[in-house]
Amino acid sequence: MKIMVTGGAGFIGSNFIRHMLTSYPEHSILNLDNLTYAGNLENLKGIESLSHYTFIKGDIADARLLESIEFDAIINFAAESHVDRSILNAYPFLQTNVIGTQCLLEAAKKRKCRILHVSTDEVYGSIEEGLFIETSTVLPNSPYAASKASADLLARAYHETYGLDVSVTRCSNNYGPYQFPEKLIPLVILNAIEGKQIPVYGDGKNVRDWIHVSDHCKAIDLIFHKGKAGTVYNVGARNEVQNIDIIKKILMIMDEKKRHEKRSFTDLIAYVQDRPGHDRRYAIDPTKVETELGWRPEIDFDKGISSTVEWYMENREWWKSILSGEYMDYYKQQYDGRFRE
């Protein structure tokens, strides 16, 4: 089977491609990614030369390009994914997350092939108490979340109208290696290493439900192979943490590793203006994927966060070239002209 993974140069997509190439040497993986600021082929270093892996630089909203590519199934990670950027400019979010997803649904419809659309718990909005289930009302609060919810509704419509074999996954906050440094966890680690302030939005008591990226990837693999068409699956590790607690946890791990230094990294914490429309709490119920498909998260949060801190401490080259902007220049020279655009 030739599986087209879109957005495979980003954080979760690159972790997923590594997982698939190791788990299914019989499948070939085609990575379609237009390398926005969040796409980095360094995330896939070491696998470029594998015979069952191909990279195509291209946009998911390019319907003609999609027509020219051969594939048997699609897994869609491609997105504008950062809430803060969507507050500054929603347009690219609508273009990629809505129009781009619609182009992929159309391409899957033409080939009568399976498509898994990777979505987010943010589509449900914020919840004071209890947990969102798959049939909860979709009430997105940020332009990012609204664009993802729109794509989810299009996926549903393509199933209802055309019988498309489509499943949607709604996962909670991921952490792990290769996450772009504008997101909370890598930002905290890298700012601490560089002695910069750690901005905490509002009172720091907003709650996120954290899952290691490798557990998310295994859930997607399972849902792609065994999930029901026209169905939504929540994916989460039942691991709610307040932002300030996760920040302190990371800084304590870092303090432990640098015991000789008198100053604690926690001195770098700075409370700043809140994110507009900042969702107070995300919490989803993953019972459906657990009971129907037998998925369970495997990575304990304390171990996962500690190994994630270590990964960023050991992979300075990777993040330094992102912070300096070099990664963009390097890949521009390397890949423009060598791949279809």
> Which residues are near ligand NAD by CB under 6 A?
6-7, 9-13, 33-36, 38-39, 59-61, 77-81, 96, 100, 118, 120, 148, 171, 173-174, 180
| Nearer Cβ to ligand DAU (164/247) | 247
Torsion of the alpha carbons at 146, 127, 177 and 83, rounded to the nearest 10 = 30
**Of these partners, ligand NAD, ligand DAU, none, which one is at the site of residue 208 (CB under 5 to 8 Å by kind)?**
ligand DAU
Q: State how far Cα 32 lies from the chain centre.
A: 15
**Of these partners, ligand NAD, ligand DAU, none, which one is at the site of residue 187 (CB under 5 to 8 Å by kind)?**
ligand DAU
The catalytic residue among 53, 59, 80, 144 is 144
Are the beta carbons of 60 and 5 closer than 8 angstroms? Answer: no
Beta partners for residue 4, in sequence order: 30, 74
Q: How far is the CB of 81 from ligand DAU (least distance, A)?
A: 4
Place of tokens 């190439």: 21
Residue 45 to residue 328: CA distance in whole angstroms: 15
Q: Can 330 be counted among the known catalytic residues?
A: no
Closest CA to 125 of 286, 276, 285, 282: 282
Residue 98 to residue 102: CA distance in whole angstroms: 6
What residue is closest to ligand DAU based on CB? 120
Q: Can 336 be counted among the known catalytic residues?
A: no
Q: How far is the CB of 66 from ligand NAD (least distance, A)?
A: 10
Q: How far is the CB of 338 from ligand NAD (least distance, A)?
A: 17
Strands 2-6 and 73-76: parallel
The catalytic residue among 59, 121, 152, 215 is 121
| Nearer Cβ to ligand DAU (82/248) | 82
Structure-block tokens of residue 189: 């680690």
| Nearer Cβ to ligand DAU (204/230) | 204
Strand-by-strand arrangement of the 231-235 sheet: 53-57, 28-33, 2-6, 73-76, 114-120, 166-171, 231-235
**Of these partners, ligand NAD, ligand DAU, none, which one is at the site of residue 165 (CB under 5 to 8 Å by kind)?**
none
Residues that bind ligand DAU (CB under 6 A): 81-83, 120-122, 172-173, 183-184, 187, 199-201, 206, 208, 243, 275, 282
Beta partners for residue 116, in sequence order: 75, 167
Q: How far is the CB of 256 from ligand NAD (least distance, A)?
A: 26
Structure-block tokens of residue 251: 């800084």
Helix (H) or strand (E) holding 277: none
Q: Can 290 be counted among the known catalytic residues?
A: no
Q: Which residues are catalytic?
A: 121-122, 144
